[in-house]
Amino acid sequence: MYPDRIFSGMRPTGTLHLGHYHGVLKNWVRLQNEYPCYFSVVDLHALTTHYESPEVIEQHVWDVLIDWLAAGIDPQSATLFIQSRVPEHSELALLLGMSTPLGWLERVPTYKEQIEKLRERGRDLTTYGFLGYPLLMTADILLYRANLVPVGEDQAPHLEIARELARRFNNMYGTEPGFEEKAQDAAKKLGGKRAKLYFKLRTAYQQEGDDEALEQARAMLHESHSLSMHDRERLFGYLEGARRVILPEPQILLTEASRMPGLDGQKMSKSYGNAIGLREDKTSIEKKVRTMPTDPARVRRTDPGEPEKCPVWQLHRVYSDDSTKEWVQQGCRTAGIGCIECKQPVIDGILAEQQPMLERAQPYLDDPQLLRAIVANGCDKAREAAQETMREVREVMGIGY
């Protein structure tokens, strides 16, 4: 068994916003103290969809990394690296592709949907790179034998293909050469029904990793007094050798969905134009919040409103304490407070949250070499782990020379 490890990646989309912080980074900050974590800027994934605009990638990569550090990701605790700087990601994706049925890739839930959506916007994604994207994503995880992947409930189906590919790989390559003949030979000594049962249990263990089947087969062998101790031990050995886990199946580490709303009440997203940047300047944040839409019923200051119909209230839920929330509920419904007044605690909350982030980011903005050194170190550490996995992968695939 391999120790618990976490892998998570983020595309280089440029500077991050508060939605990223509340939805992903806060969780990473917590996880880095609980598990060994590999956090990667997955720049090759950016090329699967934006292969025509390579000029923006590099700046976006550095911006994302500074924002991670600003959010509190600690390079002493977690390994921060850039995907393309560890070429084993590409190699494992290629090798996994050798035995991946085309249909598995074509039936990934979002594949056809995304192609259609982007075709409407005049973009062509009928490329090999885009079809093969799940292989690259799977390689990202399996390369580090990361058995835990933090995802929200809505993304859980995406991990299913990674699990299927790991299972297929272990079934195909996880058995010693000549193992089958030797095991059959030894099992003959069990005779008739017992041999049949033994093979049934062994197959369950081999294909599904069914520990219960393993235990049952063990117990059965233990009670087979007609076999010599030597034969029993050989069969025990073949049983265990029936399943060698080279690439552990990743499990979902379910994370709570972020409720971070944007300025218009929809989910915060750069493409909706409703985001507040993690390191956005104070004046801009103040302006954005002050011009946020409110409950349309409050045309005049004297008109009462309903917080549930107002995007500002959703931000109070994130940033305000109970007494402020009570003040909003009461003041809005009785027209006791004005909207500008109501927005101030939200502005204060965002600025207070942002302050330590600005402080953490500053040294890297002052000296870009500092960031480069952290990332170079992370890439070396990631590569070391990746090479260890690849040595075994190459060996079982017959190219370990």
Binding site for ligand SF4 (CB under 6 A): 294-295, 298, 305, 307, 310, 312-313, 328, 332, 337, 339, 342-343
Query: Rounded to an integer, what distance in angstroms lies between the CA atom of residue 258 and that of residue 158?
Result: 18
Q: Report the nearest approach of ligand SF4 to the CB of residue 282 (Å).
A: 20
Complex with ligand SF4: residue 49 or 314, whichever CB lies closer: 314
* Residue type present at position 257: A
DSSP letter for each residue of 104-148: HHHTSTTHHHHHHHHHHTT----SHHHHTHHHHHHHHHHTTT--E
Query: In whole angstroms, how far apart are CA 283 and each of 104, 280, 289, 294, 389?
Result: 50, 9, 10, 20, 49
Complex with ligand SF4: residue 88 or 295, whichever CB lies closer: 295
Complex with ligand SF4: residue 60 or 343, whichever CB lies closer: 343
Complex with ligand SF4: residue 18 or 310, whichever CB lies closer: 310
Q: Report the nearest approach of ligand SF4 to the CB of residue 14 (Å).
A: 30
Complex with ligand SF4: residue 250 or 305, whichever CB lies closer: 305
Q: Report the nearest approach of ligand SF4 to the CB of residue 284 (Å).
A: 19
Query: Rounded to an integer, what distance in angstroms lies between the CA atom of residue 5 and that of residue 297?
Result: 51
CA within 13 Å, CB half, 167: 14
Length of the chain: 401
* Residue type present at position 259: R
Q: Report the nearest approach of ligand SF4 to the CB of residue 266 (Å).
A: 16
Q: Report the nearest approach of ligand SF4 to the CB of residue 291 (Å).
A: 12
**Torsion angles phi and psi, residue 10, rounded to 5:** -140, 135
Q: By the 8 A CB rule, do 40 and 7 touch? A: yes
CA atoms 373, 62, 66, 390: torsion sign: negative
Complex with ligand SF4: residue 197 or 335, whichever CB lies closer: 335
Query: Rounded to an integer, what distance in angstroms lies between the CA atom of residue 44 and that of residue 9?
Result: 11
Q: By the 8 A CB rule, do 79 and 85 touch? A: no
Query: Rounded to an integer, what distance in angstroms lies between the CA atom of residue 399 and that of residue 401?
Result: 6
Complex with ligand SF4: residue 133 or 319, whichever CB lies closer: 319
Q: Report the nearest approach of ligand SF4 to the CB of residue 344 (Å).
A: 10
Q: Report the nearest approach of ligand SF4 to the CB of residue 315 (Å).
A: 9
Complex with ligand SF4: residue 64 or 342, whichever CB lies closer: 342
H or E stretch including 299? none
Q: Report the nearest approach of ligand SF4 to the CB of residue 273 (Å).
A: 20
Q: Report the nearest approach of ligand SF4 to the CB of residue 332 (Å).
A: 3
Instruction: List the beta strands (DSSP E) in 226-279.
Output: 251-254
DSSP letter for each residue of 24-92: IIHHHHHHTTTS-EEEEE-HHHHHHHHTT-GGGHHHHHHHHHHHHHHHT--TTTEEEEEGGGSTHHHHH
Complex with ligand SF4: residue 10 or 312, whichever CB lies closer: 312
